[in-house]
């Protein structure tokens, strides 16, 4: 997806006038800044919010698989992989990334209101 031009942005902004929305806060801290810079360098456009969320999701899986392999765990076992995913914590593009051990929901994550 390419980013909107200023004219397109103003058109969409006018269409949404009076509406309230929110999304997950993204591009936080050093990781977020580096992500934006690299994305623009590669694609020539600003990244969308969901790309930051997907980036963190893939890193979470990568960290979990790395831990499983390095410790000799059976990463093909869904229960084992789920336990490892729940224990994975890191700082990503959306801030601190971890899962709630009882629900598998993402633990606290900030939201942007627009």
Q: What pLDDT does 101 receive?
A: 83
The domain ranges of the chain are 22-106
Q: What pLDDT does 4 receive?
A: 57
- pLDDT (tens, 9 = 90+) of the chain, 114 residues, equals 345 566 776 776 666 667 776 677 788 889 999 999 999 999 999 998 889 989 999 999 999 999 999 999 999 999 999 999 999 999 999 999 999 888 888 887 776 666
* Cα–Cα distance measured from residue 56 to residue 96, given in angstroms and rounded to the nearest whole number: 10
Q: What pLDDT does 1 receive?
A: 39
* Cα–Cα distance measured from residue 93 to residue 54, given in angstroms and rounded to the nearest whole number: 9
Instruction: Give the Cβ contact number of residue 20 at 10 Å.
Output: 7
Question: Looking at the domain 22-106, which fold is it?
Answer: Rossmann fold (3.40.50)
């Amino acid at each position: 997806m390419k980013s909107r031009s200023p004219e397109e942005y103003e058109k969409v902004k006018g269409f949404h006038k009076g509406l309230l929305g929110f999304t997950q806060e993204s591009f936080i801290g050093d990781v977020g800044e580096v992500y934006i810079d690299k994305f623009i360098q590669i694609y020539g456009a600003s990244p969308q919010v969901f790309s930051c969320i997907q980036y963190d999701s893939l890193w979470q899986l990568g960290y979990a698989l790395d831990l499983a392999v390095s410790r000799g765990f059976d990463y093909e076992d869904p229960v084992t992989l789920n336990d490892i995913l729940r224990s994975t914590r890191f700082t990503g593009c959306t801030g601190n990334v971890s899962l709630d051990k009882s629900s598998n929901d993402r633990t606290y994550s900030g939201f942007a209101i627009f």
